[in-house]
Chains A and B, each alone.
Chain A
Amino acid sequence: MKQGDESLAARSLSREIYEEAGALPTEVRFMEVCGTHTMAIHEAGLKSLLPENIKLVSGPGCPVCVTEKSFIDEAILIGKEYDACLVTFGDLVRVPGSFGSLASYRAEGGSIRVVYSPLDAIAAAEEALGRPTVFLGVGFETTIPTIAATLKTALGKGVDNLFVVSAFKTIHPPLKILAAKDDLDGFLLPGHVSAILGSNCFEYLPRDFHKAGVVAGFEGLDILQALRDLVRMVARKSPHIANDYKRVVRSEGNPTARALIDEVFAPCDASWRGLGVIPGSGLVPKGPYSRFDASVHLPVDVPPAEDDPRCRCAAILMGSRTPDTCGLFGRECTPEYPVGPCMVSSEGTCAAYYKYGAV
C-alpha cells in the first residue's frame, strides 16, 4: 500500500461504522474474546474511531487473567516439596499467588526457567539429570497443540522427569455462557485460536444465540473491518459468522493440530478465575501421556486461595464492567503492584487501560 493508504482505509472503515451505527436505536456492545486483540485495539487507538453507541468490552481470552491464584500456589509448592525446576512462559512470572509470585520464589532461591517454546522444557528436563522438571501449562487452543506436540516428542524420547501442571482452557464453554448474555450483541472472534479450530466451529453463535461473530486478524485495519462487519450484521438483524482473517484461518482450521490435542489430552472441568468452574472447559493429559500429569505424580496440598473481595476482575472478564469503575484501578492496583489478574498480564484489560489511558 502507498504511504497514507492505511489511514485513508481506516477513516473509510470508521465512516462506514458511523453510518451503520447511526441507524441503530440503542447502544451495541461487542466483546473481543482474545487478549491479543485487546492489546491491538488499545495500541492502535481504535476506540477513538468508533461512535459513542458502539462499545468494545474485553473477554476471558487472556490465559493469565483466567488462571486461578491457586495454580501459582500449586506450582511453588511442587517446586519446594519435590525440589523441582519450574519451566514457564514469561507471562506467568509476575502473577501474584497467595504467598508470592514465581518471581519472588526465584528470588528466594527457587528454580524457575522462562522459555519461549514449550519444546525448551524437554531440553530443560534432559539437562536436569533426573530432577523433576515441571512445565506450567496455561493457554488456549493456539498454545495447547504446542504443548501436546511437546509431550508427544517427550514420550518418543523416553523423557521421564518432565511433568505438566494443567490449567489449559478451551474457548467454547465460556463463549456459550457469554453468548447467552443479553448485554452482548456480537463477538470479535480470536484469530489464532480460530486458525486451529476453524471459522466454522462458531456457527452455534448465530444458530443458538442469535449473536454475530467475526474472526479477525490483529492489525488495526483487520479489526476495523471486522467491527464494520459486526455493526452491519447487527444493524441488518442478520447475525452470522464471517471470517475476515482468511489469509490465516481456514474454515476447517488445522486438523493436524487438533488431532495432536485429541491424542494427548482429555476434557475435564476447569476453574476460571472470576468465573468459577465451567464443566468440560479444561484439558488433562490422558492415556500414555498421563505419566506427565504433575497433579497425579507430584501431588501437593494446595490451600484454597482467596481473591481480594474489592477486585472487580471477575465482572471485567465477563464484559460486565470496565476497569475504570473499579475502586482499586490505578490506585492500589497498578502494573507495578497488581492486585488482580487483569492488571498483571500485559494482555489484561486493566493493564491495557492503564498503559493507554483509555478511561
Chain B
Amino acid sequence: MCLAIPMELIEITGEGTGKVNAGGIRTDVSLMMIPHAKVGDYLIIHAGFGIEILDREEARIRLDLFKEIAEATRHLEET
C-alpha cells in the first residue's frame, strides 16, 4: 500500500496544488507535504500527494554506480 511513483511537476495550479506528468499521464496532486517543490522537480507521488522530491544528484550517482558494476562484470565475463 506504500506504493509511490516519481512524476514530473509541470505546473503549480494553486496554493499547495500542482499538476504532474509521467509518460503522458497527467494528474492533479497536493503539494501540502512539499511546499518547496518547483516546476521541473520529480515528485514521489502517493495517494494524490507529493510526499518527497526526487534528489537528481543521488539518482545520477546510483545510475553511475550500477553502470560501473555492469561494465566491470561485462569485462570480467568476457575475459
Contact = CB atoms under 8 A, between A and B. Distances in A.
A196 B51 contact: yes
Contacts of A145: 33, 49, 51
A13 interface: yes
B2 A142 contact: yes
B25 interface: no
Main secondary structure of the interface of B (DSSP, over half): mixed
B22 interface: no
Contacts of B70: 1-2, 4-6, 8-9, 12
Interface residues of B, number: 33
B73 A9 contact: yes
Contacts of B62: 246-247
A142 B55 contact: no
B47 A260 contact: no
B54 to A, nearest CB: 6
B43 to A, nearest CB: 10
Nearest to A257: B33
Nearest to A89: B1
A90 to B, nearest CB: 10
Contacts of A11: 73
B57 to A, nearest CB: 8
Interface string B50-79: 011011101101110011011111100100
Contacts of A8: 69-70, 73-74, 77
Contact of B51 (A9, A139, A257): A257
User: Which of B1, B30, B63, B67 counts the most chain A CB atoms within 10 A?
Assistant: B1
Contact of A5 (B2, B34, B54, B66): B66
B51 A142 contact: yes
A98 interface: no
Interface string B23-57: 00000001011110000000010111101101110
A119 B48 contact: yes
A149 B62 CA distance: 32
A278 to B, nearest CB: 19
A38 to B, nearest CB: 11
Contacts of B47: 89, 116-118, 143, 146
A1 B66 contact: yes
A253 B17 CA distance: 21
A256 interface: yes
Contacts of B72: 12
Nearest to B52: A195
A70 interface: no
Contacts of A256: 32-35
Contacts of A153: 32
B58 A247 contact: yes
Interface of A: 1-2, 4-6, 8-9, 11-13, 34-36, 61-64, 89, 91, 116-120, 138-140, 142-143, 145-146, 149, 152-153, 190-193, 195-196, 218, 221, 246-250, 254, 256-257, 260, 345, 347
Given A34-B2, A62-B1, A249-B52, 19 more contacts: A1-B66, A1-B70, A2-B67, A5-B71, A36-B2, A116-B47, A117-B48, A118-B47, A143-B1, A145-B33, A192-B2, A195-B4, A247-B55, A248-B52, A248-B54, A254-B34, A254-B51, A257-B51, A345-B1
